Structure 1
Amino acid sequence: MRHSIEMEKLTLGVCYYPEHWDRALWKDDLQRMKQYGIEVIRLAEFSWALMEPEEGKYDFSFWDEFLALAAEENMKVVFCTPTATPPAWLSEKYPETLNADGDGNLMYHGMRGQHNLTSPKYLEFCEKITRHMAEHFNKYDCIIGWQLDNEVNCEANEYYSKSDHEAFRAFLKERFGTLDNLNEKMGTIFWSQTYTDWDQIHLARRSTAGTGLANPHMQLEQVRFISHSAVHYLALQASIVRETAGDRFITTNGIFENLDYQKLMESGVDFIMYDSYPNFAYAMDRPDGGEGDLKDRNFSFNLARTRAISPLFGIMEQQAGPGGWNFRIHQASPKPGQLRLWTMQSVAHGADFVSFFRWRTCSFGTEIYWHGLNDYSNRPNRRLEELSLVKADFEAIKDIAGHPYEAAVGILCDYDNEWDGQKDVWHGPLRNFSTDGWFRSLQKKHIPFDFVDFREETNLKDLEKYELLVYPHATILTKERAEILTQYVANGGKLVMGCRTGYKDIYGRCPMQPMPGEAAELCGVTVEDFTFLAPGEPMEYVNWNGKRIPAPVFNDVLEPAFGGKAEGFFEGNYYDGKPALVTKNTGKGLAIYFGGCFAEETADAFLEALSIQTPAPWLVLPEGCELAKRGDQYFVLNYKAQSCEITLKKKVTDRLTGNEIEGTYEVAPYGVLVLL
């Protein structure tokens, strides 16, 4: 199995829906696509009713007709299983396939994703349609790969049907073996929650005042179960497609919550495709009118998260126009230059395939306002004109395919802490706050970074390529992960950890041991006291070798131990003068425990103190530009509506134009450079 997309060159694609259009348009559409450099189309992800109009009666003639034309026009295809949209006859005849809310109310037919992932009947129908499709369509050479379903866990990421409750019990029985073991691990002695029969166990239901499932450890297991169900659902389809797929790739598009994509990769999916819609940063439905001053640049965060799953990946849906449904989200049109900018943003972060959503804006249905490359009128427009520029860009740097994104900084992340933090307000919001602080700092200082999925399978080789690792709030920290981090530091790595580290076990319980648990010896510290900063309380600061840095949101009051050294001290509050930052040298490296969260300014101070610098010291950029590095080539992305001035201290070539540039240079609004 692959773990990267492995394209021979940078490749453009588009999502196409021939079932929405008169046959008279098909050939012209495909020929115009090729004129704009599009070589691949995605098809059929919502067409189950077309392929199985009645139960057990399969009709693939429509797609046979279209695929024959695609082959004639030398257009490559990513074909999709249509399981995100079951036909009406299935939902009506088999209501047990429908999802339900926490009170058991069914989600009826009429949208998409209204099914559940565990219904034996639904899985049976998914298996049948997938098998018939794979056996029929894999004869077409124009099909280069398969997409499974569409955006699993997007419309719903919690499931409460009858079969989900039953499958949850089976999941727990497999995981814990006995009720005694489950009761002990879940702490059910608290509030008389002890289970004496497996049938007493349910997914989260309203208990008191609508608070939902009271047991936090069962909440964590519930998310693990949802991920397990989603992985099984997709792996079932992958195994069927694989039987006849030959060397075709198998993928799915994401990324969404409550799904362990690393386990999915181990279960039959070759790599992940991301759906990139940077214009969400400007969605008018958002109360703040956007996502802070980084706006669409924030989507580099999501692209980095995708890269942690698939080092070289694809974009299945790249925003091409203004977006929104008729009842949810409405966005302004991308400004001239932004379509190209967002496409190159994806490429800069590791995408070797970019497929736009969609070729033509649909003239009916829920997505009549989710605009594609073409408008309803099907006449030339400025988005198509901009696509011509993208075509030229891809041709100029087509050989960058296969070159990985390069970074010396890694931000560790893991599903255990992410999922436990969904309900736990004592650490979940802290992780989001601090990760954003580090992201903003690294972006503005033009220091590329990776997210690094930290799992039990992670080894030293996975970590040692990073000069600095940041693990902001590793609340759940196992002994095995702590040992790998100790090896990383001993071999010369720099590690930074923040407050709320190491006080929970793998089940989300708080063992009777000094904080920060398994991180104590690694970082040379124990936690003497801790507190949230109360609303209205001034932000705490830390004096670190004469530099005053913020320690917002939550504070751990520290005490050096195991050879640690206090180097930073709180200023203010009842713990004024107490240690806030402790360092410990182990072998060739350094571990730092910081008793606070990481604001952007805090992260700035750590990068300066640890001498972490941009990989391009010869290039002076304003904060409004992003720097990314793939192989030996540097991407400069200007996210501002105004031109900006950069300085190059040596002569380099802009591969997009072929021009040599040096000294002061002006980058156009929403402009892009690729420097070599």
Structure 2
Amino acid sequence: MLNGNTIELGVCYYPEHWDTSFWKEDMLRMKSYGIGVIRVAEFAWNLFEPEEGRFDDSFWDRFLNVAKDCGIQVIFCTPTATPPAWLTEKYPEVLNCDIYGHPVYHGMRKHHNMTSPVYLDFVKKIVEHIAAHYSAHPAIIGWQIDNEVNCETNSYHAPSDHEAFRKYLKEKYGTLENLNRAMGTTFWNQTYTDWEQVHLSRYTLANSNNPHMMLEEKRFISEAAINYIGIQADIIRKYRRSEQFITTNGLFGVLDNHKLVKEKLDFITYDSYPNFAFAMEGSKLSPRSLRDRETSFNLAKTRSVSNRFGIMEQQSGPGGWNTRLLQPAPKPGQLRLWTFQSIAHGADFVSYFRWRTCTFGTEMYWHGLLNYDNFPNRRTEELLRVSEDIQKIQRIAGTKHTTKFAILCDYDNEWDGMEDKWHGPLNRESTDGWFKALQRAHIPFEFVNINDEGTSQPLGNFTAAVYPHPTIMTPARAEILRAYAENGGTLFFGCRSGYKDIDGQCPMMPMPGLLAPLTGCTVEDFTFIGPADEKEYMTLGEKKIPAPTFNDILRPDFESCEVLATYDGNYYNGKPALTKNTVGKGTVYACGSVFAEETAAALLELLPKAELCPVTGWLELPEEIELTVRTNEKNGRSYAFLLNYTAQPQTVTVQKPTKELLTRETLDGTYTMEPYGVLVLDKPQ
């Protein structure tokens, strides 16, 4: 699986929820629907260790043998996401605590912390036992570590967390003098004179903690999570067969997933629930919402972490807990659409959540392929169609998503922006604006992560890139960006760029700081758009486009810097809002505002669309259709996925005779896609 040779379907299965008489029948039915892989055991600690120190393998030995006899392959999980009651009651120090220091008690999941020496010792013992006993079983093809790390919370405040944080800071800063300087503790008399005075965030008046310490706290939580996963991965590697992979499922916050995969895993998997777009009780979708299509944003994030990836949980039914997340049933066609959405973005493995809806517990409304009655239904009928379709596109296995546009991102700004209201919301607004503009313009893109060591993909692969609001900037990252521009790349920056250092402090230099030599301009003045202000715009040529939320008033400092647009309104009417600077062979644009979708769309018009849109001269598509392209790097063959997320038919125009892989028709001229329909086109040579 995920070896580049096949595209495969799987399902999440919970044999502990069903009488043993169901097992064989269930797995044979799975096979009849084209499912060959199951994931098991992520919440089953008690079935391995029913009481402290006593292990019992009879349940899983029996189950795995049934799976082998049925020809089902198994992804086996470590059960560390749900420590058992016998553990948490006897050793309460393993429990997480909230910011007030109150323990998070047993009764849900993810109630543990990741730094307790006692808990880590139990983790090592259970994983050692499982890996030693089960690795040799022929049904097991891979391992999932834990489940959705940092899912229910990414905030940890147990006593062991505070202690581990002190140790982390001692190792990083060496002395209290260095720590105090980096954390700016002379402000409000926060200076530390003893390491025991140092803590993770705690309750304060206005619930406002030191911003530099909050950034460091998130770096620490990420390191703690990577260590926690790494402990388990290292044990499994001692025992696993060479063909078995190690993964975990995400992505969740306050975790450097790029570092995690690079150092601890073979690849990442993602849990894809497009119906979350409809799941917020009482909320209304905006008129320009992309709805379930917005899951493509998360799939692009996953691909940036791990070019080889799979879907461990793919939505297959209506979903929700008894307490939250009211999701409607997938419309006829959406299960197939969402499966192809994942494949279109690079997944070669799609595993549905779940086989049969549980009849009890918190997730008894999180419906799977089968309902409580266990009868075939329209979703299982649709699954049969999906299975047949998958066999028709096996040639696409191992191909890579292709694009010439990048959205740059980094963990330092993401984590700092979680607390900093002066730039965090801006980045989320702008990234969403660019995503929607690119989607509707049929320009595929990649997220590219940047840090001082480099980028997750070579920037030279991309014609253009946007780094919306890189508030934190370092000399190493500025140099990476300079080299990209000098070699012919095109860069866009938004407001609030470059004014913080790696500790989140603001150096005494003109904004955008280290980026000024790239932009060719500095910031003369700046302001949020206040509630009493008119909606702000900029004039670009003959167009009036939004300049929302925050405005940097720019001042060209280099002769090479050209003013392209000026503000329309407010006290800085007529002042520069958008500039263009030549850097070597490339171009750098500075935009003084946040990027609304309309703003990003106007800026895309400054670029060569024929180079960015891979179907120019081949296909004409309405904006309701998503386009992605996967390319075989060995023979250069490309395959275009067209996805219709609407309940209405959509018409596409095929300008060159083209083979469609699912129907095996040759398309030429206009073609009407069915509601929630999918086309997979073999690009003409």
Alignment TM class, shorter chain as reference: over 0.9
Question: Which residue identity is paired with 1:205?
Answer: R
Tell me if the contact between 1:647 and 1:665 (Cα under 8 Å) persists in the aligned partners.
yes
Give the secondary structure class of the aligned counterpart of 1:224.
Answer: helix
Aligned partner of 2:212 in structure 1 is 217
After TM superposition, the structure 1 stretch with the greater mean CA deviation from structure 2, 558-567 or 633-642, is 558-567
Aligned partner of 1:87 in structure 2 is 84
Is residue 2:630 matched to residue 1:633?
Answer: no
Distance in 2 between residues matched to 1:148 and 1:455, nearest whole Å: 26
**Deviation at residue 289 of structure 1 after TM alignment:** 5.0
Aligned partner of 1:663 in structure 2 is 669
What are the ranges of 5 or more consecutive residues in structure 2 without an aligned counterpart? 632-637
Is residue 2:423 matched to residue 1:427?
Answer: yes
Tell me if the contact between 1:5 and 1:271 (Cα under 8 Å) persists in the aligned partners.
no
Q: 1:534 aligns with which of 526, 530, 534?
A: 530
Tell me if the contact between 1:405 and 1:630 (Cα under 8 Å) persists in the aligned partners.
yes
Distance in 2 between residues matched to 1:167 and 1:233, nearest whole Å: 13
**Deviation at residue 288 of structure 1 after TM alignment:** 2.5
Distance in 2 between residues matched to 1:135 and 1:44, nearest whole Å: 16
Distance in 2 between residues matched to 1:641 and 1:249, nearest whole Å: 39
After TM superposition, the structure 1 stretch with the greater mean CA deviation from structure 2, 404-413 or 609-618, is 609-618
Give the secondary structure class of the aligned counterpart of 1:649.
Answer: strand
Is residue 2:6 matched to residue 1:14?
Answer: no
Distance in 2 between residues matched to 1:490 and 1:547, nearest whole Å: 30
Is residue 2:258 matched to residue 1:262?
Answer: yes
Is residue 2:64 matched to residue 1:67?
Answer: yes
Q: 1:379 aligns with which of 375, 383, 387?
A: 375
**Deviation at residue 148 of structure 1 after TM alignment:** 0.2
Distance in 2 between residues matched to 1:122 and 1:291, nearest whole Å: 48
Distance in 1 between residues matched to 2:145 and 2:58, nearest whole Å: 21
Distance in 2 between residues matched to 1:51 and 1:661, nearest whole Å: 55
- 1:166-185 alignment, distance < 5 Å: 166-185=163-182
Aligned partner of 2:545 in structure 1 is 549
Tell me if the contact between 2:233 and 2:265 (Cα under 8 Å) persists in the aligned partners.
yes
Closer, same or farther: CA 291–246 of 1 in aligned 2, 3 Å: farther
Q: 2:95 aligns with which of 75, 86, 98?
A: 98
Give the secondary structure class of the aligned counterpart of 1:351.
Answer: coil
**Deviation at residue 104 of structure 1 after TM alignment:** 0.8
Distance in 2 between residues matched to 1:555 and 1:175, nearest whole Å: 36
- 1:276-315 alignment, distance < 5 Å: 276-288=272-284, 293-315=289-311
What value does the CA root-mean-square deviation take over the aligned residues? 1.3
Aligned partner of 1:229 in structure 2 is 224
After TM superposition, the structure 1 stretch with the greater mean CA deviation from structure 2, 416-425 or 604-613, is 604-613
Closer, same or farther: CA 126–291 of 1 in aligned 2, 3 Å: farther
**Deviation at residue 286 of structure 1 after TM alignment:** 5.0
Q: 1:579 aligns with which of 566, 576, 579?
A: 576
Tell me if the contact between 1:460 and 1:488 (Cα under 8 Å) persists in the aligned partners.
no
Is residue 2:361 matched to residue 1:365?
Answer: yes
Tell me if the contact between 2:272 and 2:315 (Cα under 8 Å) persists in the aligned partners.
yes
Distance in 2 between residues matched to 1:460 and 1:77, nearest whole Å: 31
- 1:89-128 alignment, distance < 5 Å: 89-128=86-125
Is residue 2:621 matched to residue 1:649?
Answer: no
Tell me if the contact between 1:119 and 1:163 (Cα under 8 Å) persists in the aligned partners.
yes
Aligned partner of 1:388 in structure 2 is 384
- 1:305-454 alignment, distance < 5 Å: 305-454=301-450
**Deviation at residue 461 of structure 1 after TM alignment:** 6.7
Aligned partner of 1:616 in structure 2 is 615
Distance in 2 between residues matched to 1:258 and 1:493, nearest whole Å: 30
Give the secondary structure class of the aligned counterpart of 2:21.
Answer: helix
Is residue 2:596 matched to residue 1:595?
Answer: no
- 1:466-485 alignment, distance < 5 Å: 466-485=462-481
Distance in 1 between residues matched to 2:424 and 2:589, nearest whole Å: 21
Tell me if the contact between 1:283 and 1:290 (Cα under 8 Å) persists in the aligned partners.
no
Aligned partner of 1:561 in structure 2 is 557
Distance in 2 between residues matched to 1:168 and 1:292, nearest whole Å: 43
TM-score by length of 2: 0.96
Give the secondary structure class of the aligned counterpart of 1:139.
Answer: coil
After TM superposition, the structure 1 stretch with the greater mean CA deviation from structure 2, 332-341 or 450-459, is 450-459
**Deviation at residue 290 of structure 1 after TM alignment:** 7.6
Aligned partner of 2:634 in structure 1 is none
**Deviation at residue 102 of structure 1 after TM alignment:** 0.8
Tell me if the contact between 1:282 and 1:290 (Cα under 8 Å) persists in the aligned partners.
no
Q: Percent identity?
A: 57
Distance in 2 between residues matched to 1:61 and 1:389, nearest whole Å: 37
Tell me if the contact between 1:281 and 1:291 (Cα under 8 Å) persists in the aligned partners.
no
- 1:495-514 alignment, distance < 5 Å: 495-514=491-510
Give the secondary structure class of the aligned counterpart of 1:453.
Answer: strand
Is residue 2:52 matched to residue 1:55?
Answer: yes
**Deviation at residue 573 of structure 1 after TM alignment:** 1.0
**Deviation at residue 284 of structure 1 after TM alignment:** 4.7
Aligned partner of 1:245 in structure 2 is 240
Q: 2:184 aligns with which of 187, 195, 200?
A: 187
Question: Which residue identity is paired with 1:19?
Answer: E
**Deviation at residue 620 of structure 1 after TM alignment:** 1.2
Give the secondary structure class of the aligned counterpart of 2:148.
Answer: coil
Give the secondary structure class of the aligned counterpart of 2:669.
Answer: strand
Tell me if the contact between 1:7 and 1:353 (Cα under 8 Å) persists in the aligned partners.
no
Tell me if the contact between 1:283 and 1:289 (Cα under 8 Å) persists in the aligned partners.
no
Distance in 2 between residues matched to 1:26 and 1:464, nearest whole Å: 51
Question: Which residue identity is paired with 1:622?
Answer: P
**Deviation at residue 291 of structure 1 after TM alignment:** 9.4
Distance in 1 between residues matched to 2:228 and 2:5, nearest whole Å: 31
Tell me if the contact between 1:280 and 1:290 (Cα under 8 Å) persists in the aligned partners.
no
Give the secondary structure class of the aligned counterpart of 1:63.
Answer: helix
Give the secondary structure class of the aligned counterpart of 1:293.
Answer: coil
**Deviation at residue 246 of structure 1 after TM alignment:** 2.7
**Deviation at residue 15 of structure 1 after TM alignment:** 0.4
Distance in 2 between residues matched to 1:286 and 1:160, nearest whole Å: 32
Paired residues, number: 671
